[in-house]
Chain A
Amino acid sequence: MEIKKISKYEYMIEKTGKMKVPVRIFASEKLIESMKQDETFKQAKNVAELPGLIENVVLCPDAHMGYGMPIGGVAGFDLDSGVIAPGMVGFDINCGVRVLATDISKKEFMGKREKVIHDIKRTIPSGLGRGGKKYSREEIKQVLKKGAKWAVENNLGKKEDLERTEENGCIEGVKVEDVSDRAISRGLPQLGTLGAGNHFIDVLEIQEIYNKQELGLEKGNIAIMIHCGSRGLGHQIASDYLKIVEENFKGNISDKELVYAKIDSDLGKKYLSAMRAAVNFAFCNRQIIMHRIREILEKYFPGKKTKLVYDIAHNIAKIEKHLINVKKKEILVVRKGATRSFKGQPVLIPGSMSTESFVLIGKGNEKSFCSSAHGAGRAHSRSWAHKTLTKEKVKKILEKKDIVLEGGFKATIEESELSYKNVEDVIEVTEKANLSEKISKLKPLAVVIG
């Protein structure tokens, strides 16, 4: 496979075989080498075979192998001739990140660190029936339609939170009947829960401000980062529609995970409606978790102020207006492990458990359909972690960096920084390729995982 170098931070896989468009890769030589280690490029080429694609399939600097579509992949589709594959958005619909800025200083926080982090761990259920509030089916249906707005209407947030959430925390075009009863049943006990795996809540110190913006971030204060998604409800919606689309699929593609329906078909519309329901559930989920954390902060640091910096999705399909051939056009943009990066919009890139996270500002680069990297990107498998690492080894790294961890044995081993790529490499390319620009660096002080 030929990978053509266009510039220091941009590469291209030309159109060959069944590919309908080329693949554009934003990466350094080092990151290209790391992408070659798995099937990232092969998966991107499979995506490039789909009908109705616009311009190119994009790989962000943190791209790595997923299934169907690689993580860090972005694709744009024409609304008339294009298709939607549930496998592109994946199972964790609207998995995303939000950052809450505070005016609590690191010093104030460190005095109460253990108590606060323990309280957060206890208050925010990981989601297996432990402590989660059970909502009614009717309430969940409202959440599917209203997203984070529902939370604000029910005193679980402030109006200005919505202004600082992608899509204002609510995406239109949901028909609740497109969501199965099974999906709703899985969602009932899980609204306001974190989940396990790579989902986390971090307390971070704002270590550097590179470019002062009105985001509420002040050097030396703490911020909270929340990473989670649509939980079992979204997973079930993805599973349901993968099955239905597969049963109705008659095309010819290289990877069964990419079975698709036309965007303007009945099935395509139904999937998009159900997916949006999961998107709204996830926005509301992160809103409720943030509200609970605000309550905890108020208890330990009364009178201190908090401000939502931003909330972004990183597994989503959305109709957006983009500049295509010098004309503004509505297209369907699919981002899998990639975030929107409109001009002036905050972009959030978490590092791994014990490495720095970053807040950036979008540059609105149309070469990537205004998208940016979403994280450090996994480098090693979970089984590699269990074979190679011990809890003691991970604990030592955390101790050395003075980070407190509340989490189980499994996640501690699997999610350590040793399993991830260096986030600084990803940030460097993200900036140099003009996808987004660094605003602030945040250092983890305490971490909660499932």
Chain B
Amino acid sequence: MGKMKYKFLEHTADIKFQSEGKTLDKAFTNAGYALLEIITDKEKIKAIKKKKISVKGKDKEQLLLNFLEEFLFLLDSEDFVVGKIEKLKIKENELVAELIGDKASKYDFSNSVKAITYNEMRVEKKGKNFICQVVLDV
């Protein structure tokens, strides 16, 4: 799974996190894992099924929002929970990735994330690393 680099920050009503990566691809992947930690409440998800996704956005921020929203969409509409994010590639404002996971209803967690918000959202390069900052509505 590689090294997961993200941290949660203080926020009164909601959940805020920052992810990091040497490349934009890695920073996005780690943002995905941060979201999954909240969705699954750290439950281990088995690798049973693979789904390829392709997401677009008018800029990097919207691309991140649309990418993360895909996890909520798959969970609600297809009962699919992601455990592993592979081969995530960003080209211009398009992202492709392989999501590996399982039937969500087999697990005990109950997702409390309602939406990915634009609030304080940032995608930027800081020194050598790329940083993504996201606030989740819970």
- Interface residue ranges, A against B (CB under 8 Å): 38, 64-68, 71, 90-92, 126-130, 182, 185-186, 188-190, 196-197, 231-232, 235-236, 238-239, 242-243, 246-247, 256-257, 378, 380-384, 408-411, 414, 450
Contact = CB atoms under 8 A, between A and B. Distances in A.
B86 interface: no
B69 interface: yes
A450 B138 CA distance: 12
Contacts of B11: 381, 383
Contacts of A90: 137
A128 B114 contact: no
B137 A91 contact: yes
Nearest to A378: B13
A126 B115 CA distance: 17
Interface in B47-102: 58, 62, 65, 69, 72-73, 75-77, 79
Nearest to B57: A243
Given A128-B79, A130-B105, A235 B115 contact: yes
Contacts of A235: 72, 114-115, 137
A383 B7 CA distance: 12
B118 A256 contact: yes
Nearest to B105: A129
Nearest to B11: A381
Contact of B72 (A38, A232, A410): A232
A450 B110 contact: yes
Contacts of A66: 13
Nearest to A65: B12
Nearest to B135: A67
B54 to A, nearest CB: 15
B5 interface: no
B112 A411 contact: yes
B79 A185 contact: no
Contacts of B62: 243
A114 B73 CA distance: 35
A243 B69 CA distance: 12
Nearest to A40: B12
A185 B75 CA distance: 11
Contact of B115 (A68, A239, A408): A239
13 contacts: A38-B12, A128-B104, A128-B110, A129-B105, A182-B73, A189-B76, A189-B79, A196-B111, A197-B138, A238-B115, A257-B119, A382-B138, A410-B41
Contact of A232 (B8, B76, B118): B76
A200 B123 CA distance: 35
A232 B71 CA distance: 12
Nearest to B103: A129
Contacts of B135: 67
Contacts of A238: 115
A400 B103 CA distance: 39
Contacts of B13: 64-66, 71, 378, 381
Contacts of A450: 110, 112
Contacts of B108: 408
B10 A381 contact: yes
Most B-side CB within 10 Å, residue of A66, A382, A414 = A382
A130 B103 CA distance: 11
B12 A381 contact: yes
Nearest to B41: A410
A125 B112 CA distance: 14
Given A126-B110, A128-B104, A450-B112, A190 B14 contact: no
A213 to B, nearest CB: 33
B136 to A, nearest CB: 10
A257 B118 contact: yes
A228 B103 CA distance: 25
B116 interface: yes
B52 to A, nearest CB: 17
Contacts of B110: 126-128, 196, 408, 410-411, 450
B104 A236 contact: no
A135 to B, nearest CB: 13
A382 B73 contact: no
Interface in B1-45: 8, 10-15, 41
B129 interface: no
Contacts of B117: 67, 91, 257
B12 A378 contact: yes
A242 B58 contact: no
Contacts of B116: 239
Most B-side CB within 10 Å, residue of A65, A231, A383 = A383
